[in-house]
């Protein structure tokens, strides 16, 4: 009798089974809702997913804004980290000394590297509509046309900044101050190479030297 009784407790009497049914029903309902919710989210995520022919990246800032807010401050962070300043107080050799100072110049180099990727996004405007060129600069609309026509050259100039910044990064990681000074010089040339081709109009508009 005892053993039978024990087996009985392992099975559910019809009454207990009935009493437990609402629990299963509720569980099934909750799980079902969960699945439906998941499917729904998956479907809406699918609906929001970019179409195959949509561009993978969206440009928001103009090239002008990227230069002003990212490229120039990042390059300054690399250049200004090392300097020899001589004045009436004597000669100051400025260089990163603490790990934090080396980390700061490294962060600027990193930002500069990644900013070059942003310049490669197609369709980025050069400047806000209506922006005017200063004396000696091509108007933004003309720069846009020039970039369109000479895209490989434009990309090549970003590569110049990338390579010289990688040189700076290698010097930073070796805490090589002299190497950082040298790389900084190359970096400056790399910036100007693009500016001379795509931004400054002066060389093209100078009167031809008399022969």
> How do strand 83-87 and strand 90-94 relate by DSSP bridges?
antiparallel
The answer to whether residues 165 and 112 touch, using CB atoms and an 8 Å cutoff, is yes
Min. distance of Cβ 60 from ligand HEC in angstroms?
A: 16
> CA-CA distance, 165 to 181, in Å (whole number)?
12
Q: Kindly identify the residues of this chain, within the stretch 74-93, that bind ligand HEC according to CB under 6 A.
A: 75
Asked if residue 64 binds ligand HEC (CB under 6 A), the reply is yes
Compare residues 14 and 203 and give the one whose CB is closer to ligand HEC. Answer: 203
Name the one range near ligand HEC by CB under 6 A: 31-39, 42-50, 177-185, 186-194: 186-194
Asked if residue 171 binds ligand HEC (CB under 6 A), the reply is no
Asked if residue 71 binds ligand HEC (CB under 6 A), the reply is yes
Task: State which of residues 70, 81, 105, 127 lies at the interface with ligand HEC (CB under 6 A).
Answer: 127
Asked if residue 63 binds ligand HEC (CB under 6 A), the reply is yes
Which residues on adjacent β-strands are paired with residue 200?
Answer: 137
Compare residues 152 and 207 and give the one whose CB is closer to ligand HEC. Answer: 152
Q: Which residues of 108-142 are buried (b: 16+ CB within 10 A; e: fewer)?
A: bbebbbebbebbeeeebbbbeeeeebeeeebebee
Compare residues 53 and 64 and give the one whose CB is closer to ligand HEC. Answer: 64
Closest CA to 158 of 67, 50, 40, 57: 67
Asked if residue 70 binds ligand HEC (CB under 6 A), the reply is no
Task: State which of residues 67, 70, 81, 109 lies at the interface with ligand HEC (CB under 6 A).
Answer: 67
Question: Footprint of ligand HEC on this chain (CB under 6 A)?
Answer: 63-64, 67-68, 71-72, 75, 112, 119, 126-127, 140, 143, 154, 157-158, 161, 187, 191, 194-195, 198-199
């Amino acid at each position: 009798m005892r053993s039978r009784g024990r087996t009985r407790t392992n099975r559910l009497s019809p009454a207990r089974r009935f009493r437990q049914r609402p629990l299963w029903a509720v569980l099934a309902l909750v799980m079902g809702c969960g699945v439906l919710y998941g499917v729904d989210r998956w479907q809406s995520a699918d609906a929001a997913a970019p179409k195959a022919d949509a561009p993978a990246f969206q440009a928001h800032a103009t090239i002008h804004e990227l230069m002003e807010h990212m490229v120039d401050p990042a390059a300054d962070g690399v250049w200004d980290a090392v300097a020899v300043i001589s004045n009436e107080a004597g000669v100051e050799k400025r260089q990163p000394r603490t790990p934090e100072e080396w980390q700061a110049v490294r962060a600027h180099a990193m930002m500069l590297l990644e900013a070059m990727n942003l310049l490669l996004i197609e369709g980025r405007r050069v400047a806000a509509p209506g922006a005017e060129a200063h004396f000696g600069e091509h108007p933004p609309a003309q720069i846009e046309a020039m970039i369109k026509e000479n895209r490989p050259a434009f990309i090549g100039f970003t590569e110049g900044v990338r390579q010289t910044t990688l040189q700076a990064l290698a010097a930073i990681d070796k805490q090589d101050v002299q190497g950082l000074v040298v790389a900084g010089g190359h970096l400056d040339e790399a910036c100007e190479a693009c500016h001379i081709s795509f931004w400054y109009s002066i060389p093209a508009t100078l009167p031809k030297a008399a022969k």
